Amino acid sequence: MVAKVRVARDGGELGATVAEYVAALSAASGERFVVAVSGGSMPGVLAALAHRRDIEFGKWEVFFADERCVPLDSPDSNYKACNDALFSKLPGIRVHAIDPSLEPAKAAETYEKELMECGGVHLALLGAGPDGHTASLFPGHALFETPGSKLVDVILDSPKPPPARVTLTRAALAAAPNLAFIATGTSKADLFKTIFVRQADGEISYADPLPRYPITTLLSRSGVADWFTDAAAVAKVPSQT
Ligand SMILES: O=C(O)[C@H](O)[C@@H](O)[C@H](O)[C@H](O)COP(=O)(O)O
């Protein structure tokens, strides 16, 4: 289990570093690049991609790692947040929104069919909640604790409101060749204190033993998780003893 942790000095550097990482993976992909993005603070970080005219957005198929079951024009919609911040500025990009007019379980079933038609996720860009959740996979919740083989599932009692959401599952995310967490700010410091250690050379790696959260269970297919964070979030990370 390897964490490759990059600590940005400010929001501008964070956006630029994430954009460089995504641009390289997009360039290395074939004729289709399937990306799963999250909501929360991520749309603001991904906005930096709008300046990357070198990226072939016409081959992108965008899915949401999780999406709230609300109208697409709702301020709670991850689709709206990401579309306002980035996708509306990128002609030709194909963004797969859930169909909020369907019952949540049916919306998840339909979304899974679309994801399977695109061949699964090439890059998962995930957030991290202070409780260690990611997408809508929460510690102690059945979707995380007793995962099945579905690629997309539904949660109706999300601890983080709104309660009804469609989410990619552990199976879908762990199948991705590339998986990155983008998580910054003081609200993550207490969590990061438990999952990371600072090596003698200053590098930050996973703690051993590693506490079990959704964010520490998910790795890319190659056993690596890329992390993009900032000084505030890693301020309490202890030095390796
Ligand atoms: O729909 C959602 O709520 C998000 O996808 C969620 O999983 C988010 O990524 C984390 O809660 C981190 O949110 P922040 O980055 O805003 O802390």
Atom of ligand 1 nearest to the CA of 78: 1
241 pLDDT more than 90: no
Alpha carbon of 176 to ligand 1 centroid (Å): 19
What is the reported pLDDT for 221? 87
What is the reported pLDDT for 46? 96
Q: Are 93 and 57 in contact, with CB atoms under 8 Å apart? A: yes
Mean pLDDT of 9-33: 97
204 pLDDT more than 90: yes
Atom of ligand 1 nearest to the CA of 185: 17
Provide the 10 A C-beta neighbour count for residue 142. 12
Alpha carbon of 201 to ligand 1 centroid (Å): 31
163: Cα separation from own chain's centroid: 19
Mean pLDDT of 112-123: 97
Residue closest to 67 by CA, chosen among 142, 153, 132, 141: 153
**pTM of the prediction?**
0.97
In degrees to the nearest 10, what's the CA dihedral of 154, 119, 49, 15?
Answer: 60
Ligand 1 site residues (CB inside 6 A) read 38-42, 65-66, 78, 127-129, 134-135, 160
118-177 pLDDT, tens digit per residue, is 999 999 999 999 999 999 999 999 999 999 999 999 999 999 999 999 999 999 999 999
Q: With bands split at pLDDT 50, 70 and 90, how would you rate the model's confidence at 67?
A: very high
Mean pLDDT of 219-232: 94
Let me know how many helices (H) and strands (E) the chain has, helices first.
8, 12
Q: Considering only CA atoms, which residue is closest to atom 7 of ligand 1? A: 135
Atom of ligand 1 nearest to the CA of 130: 17
Atom of ligand 1 nearest to the CA of 182: 15
Give me the chain's average pLDDT, please: 96
**Ramachandran region of residue 155, left (φ > 0), alpha (ψ -120 to 50) or beta?**
beta
1 pLDDT more than 90: no
Query: In a mutational test of the pocket of ligand 1, which residue from 42, 141, 230 has the highest number of ligand atoms less than 8 Å from its CB?
Result: 42
What is the reported pLDDT for 120? 96
Residue closest to 143 by CA, chosen among 175, 165, 119, 110: 165
